[in-house]
Amino acid sequence: MANPMTTISWDDFARVELRVGTVIAADPFPQARRPAYQLRIDFGPELGVRKSSAQITAHYTPEDLVGRQVVAVVNFPLKQIGPFQSEVLVTGFYDAAGAVVLVQPERPVPNGARLV
């Protein structure tokens, strides 16, 4: 059976900057079309603090998120979401009900560490 996925080269994958950061603030985002939080994430001294809008309200409260490490794409273009400018894309998987479950390292790593 043929694989329906498009293959990419190692160079394609290497261009995606997946980095770890720690959520330092999480606030409701009532202006978003779908329930979301506005996150501030510390990616360490090289990248600093970046903002993201994340539709992760089904499994997480703002209190659950602060202090949690997350994996994000940090080299996408900025995205305007209503009055908020999202600077990174926080990654996750859809569960069986369609809610996002965050990707995070299995144990703490330095903020800014790149997925290898």
Residue 57 has a pLDDT of 97
Instruction: For residue 78, give both structure tokens.
Output: 């900025």
Residue 15 has a pLDDT of 95
Which residues in the chain land under pLDDT 70?
1-3
Using the structure block, give the residue that is written with the tokens 């089904």. 58
Residue 1 has a pLDDT of 54
Residue 109 has a pLDDT of 98
Domain ranges across the chain: 16-102
Residue 4 has a pLDDT of 81
Per-residue pLDDT tens over the stretch 58-72: 999 999 999 999 999
CATH class of the domain at 16-102: mainly beta
Question: pTM of the entire structure?
Answer: 0.93
